[in-house]
Amino acid sequence: MNLLFIGDVVGKPGRVAVRRLLPNLVDRHRADYVVVNVENAAGGFGVTPEVLAELEDLPVDCCTSGNHIWDKKEGLILLEENPRLLRPANYPEGNPGHGLFVGETAAGIPVATINLEGQVFMKPLESPFKVADRLLAELDPEVKVILVDFHAEATSEKQALGVYLDGRVSGVVGTHTHVPTADERLLPAGTAFITDVGMTGPYQSIIGMRSEKVLKRFLLQSRVAFEVAKKDVRLAGVVIEVDEATGRAKSIERILIENEAT
C-alpha cells in the first residue's frame, strides 16, 4: 500500500495548491491513505473551522500539526470535535485533542498516525522518544502501518527519532522547518525516513512569509507582523510504499511540484 504525506500547508496559497494538485497526486501514486500537515494553513498560523472545511471534500484521511496549532483560539475546539485533526502528543495532559489517530484505507487496512514535537530549540515538552514508546505500546498489535510526523527544529533530533523508531514504525517524516531535505531513505530495519518534507506554499519567500517582513524583523530586532507570500507556490510531500502485512517500508519518494495556476 502507499502512504501519501503532504508537508506544512502555508496559508491560502498552500491550500489552493492542495485543492488543485492533491486529487491527481492520489491517482498518480495510487495513494491508499493521505496525511496532511495543516498547522500553518490559516494565514500561516494555526487552523480554523473554515480552513479545515476546505479539505473536507478532498481525499485526506488525517491532519497533523505542530506548535502553531494553538495560535487560533477558534481552532482549538476542532481538536476535541475532530479526532482526525492531531496535535503533538507530547504536550501536557489537559490540553484539547490527541496525538494519535487510527484510521482505515478503503480496503480496511488500519493505519496509525502519530504526531510529535521536538524539544531542541522548541518548548520544554515531554520527551518525544518516551511518548512514542508509550503510544506504540498502547496500539493494537494488529495495526502494522504506522506513520510519525515529527515536528521539530533540529535535524539531529529528527534523525535520532528516526533511528530510535527504526523497525517499529513504517515511516518518520520531519516537518516544521519548511525546507525540504534530500535525504529520504530506508533505515536498516525497514522504516522510511526524511529529515524534513518541506512546505506546501510560496517558495519565493522566507519559509513561506513575505521576505521584506522577515528581513525587517532581523534587521531591526522588533516585532513585525508576518504575512504569507504569494509567488512560486509548490506542493511538497513524500510517498511511502509499505508492506501492510509487516508494516515495513519498501520505498520512499520525495515530491516537490509547482502549482502552475499561481
DSSP per position, 187-236: -TTS-EEES----BEESSSBTTB-HHHHHHHHHH-S-----B--SSEEEE
User: Tell me: the pLDDT tens digits for 189-204?
Assistant: 999 999 999 999 999 9
**Which residue is catalytic, options 29, 68, 176, 178?**
68
Strands 145-151 and 110-117, sheet pairing? parallel
- The share of the chain scoring above pLDDT 70, in percent, equals 99
Q: In Å, what is the CA distance from 21 to each residue of 27, 53, 173, 200, 217? A: 10, 17, 20, 11, 33
* Rounded-to-integer distance, Cα 232 and Cα 201, Å: 8
- pLDDT-derived band of residue 261, with 50, 70 and 90 as boundaries? low
Q: What would the pLDDT profile of 11-52 be if each residue is shown by its tens digit?
A: 999 999 999 999 999 999 999 999 999 999 999 999 999 999
CB 66 within 8 A of CB 153: no
The string of pLDDT tens digits covering residues 155-175 is 999 999 999 999 999 999 999
Active site residue 178: no
Distance (Å, whole) CA 25 – CA 239:
10
CATH superfamily of 2-258: Metallo-dependent phosphatases (3.60.21.10)
Dump pLDDT digits (tens) for 77-101: 999 999 999 999 999 999 999 999 9
For residue 221, the number of C-alpha atoms closer than 13 Å in the C-beta half-sphere is 0
The values of phi and psi at residue 190, to 5°, are: 105, 15
Averaged pLDDT for residues 60-70 = 97
pLDDT at residue 222, as a whole number: 87
How sure is the predictor about 262, in pLDDT bands with cuts at 50, 70 and 90? very low
